[in-house]
């Protein structure tokens, strides 16, 4: 894969992520944490999982030691209260996944 192709894929990932986060920010807390229409977790947990996966891949691509970002460093949905979702989960995802940003 060429660098330009990888850049295009990552740009697309950021674009779709921002669309999803903008849509999620319009939901009330009940809808945001509802498990009625999903099988394994609510939307909040899904978004936190996506944040964790993006951060993990970023660390892996930087060559970080597994012990620094392995399973013990997994993000938990409970650490992102629904009342602060637009301020925390969305901006945290954008901040952590932005090129050159620290965790």
102 within a domain of the structure (yes/no): no
With b meaning 16 or more CB within 10 Å and e meaning fewer, what string describes 42-65?
bbbbebbbbbbebbbebbeeeeee
Domain span at residue 81 reads 3-97
33 within a domain of the structure (yes/no): yes
47 within a domain of the structure (yes/no): yes
51 within a domain of the structure (yes/no): yes
Confidence at residue 102, expressed as pLDDT on a 0 to 100 scale: 43
- Predicted confidence pLDDT, tens digits, the chain (103 residues): 899 998 999 899 889 989 988 888 888 888 888 887 766 788 888 888 888 888 888 888 888 887 776 667 788 888 888 765 444 445 555 444 444 444 3
Give me the phi and psi of 2, to 5 degrees please.
Answer: -80, 155
103 within a domain of the structure (yes/no): no
If one counts the domains in the chain, the total is 1
Whether the model clears a pTM of 0.85, i.e. scores above it, the answer is no
43 within a domain of the structure (yes/no): yes
């Amino acid at each position: 894969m060429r660098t330009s192709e990888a850049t295009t894929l990552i740009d697309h990932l950021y674009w779709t992520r921002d669309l999803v986060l903008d849509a999620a920010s319009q939901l009330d807390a009940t809808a945001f944490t509802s498990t009625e229409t999903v099988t394994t977790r609510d939307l909040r947990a899904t978004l936190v999982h996506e944040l964790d996966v993006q951060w993990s891949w970023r660390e892996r691509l930087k060559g970080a030691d597994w012990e620094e970002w392995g399973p013990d460093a997994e993000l938990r949905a409970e650490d992102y209260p629904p009342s602060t979702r637009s301020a925390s989960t969305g901006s945290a995802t954008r901040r952590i996944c932005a090129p050159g940003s620290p965790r």
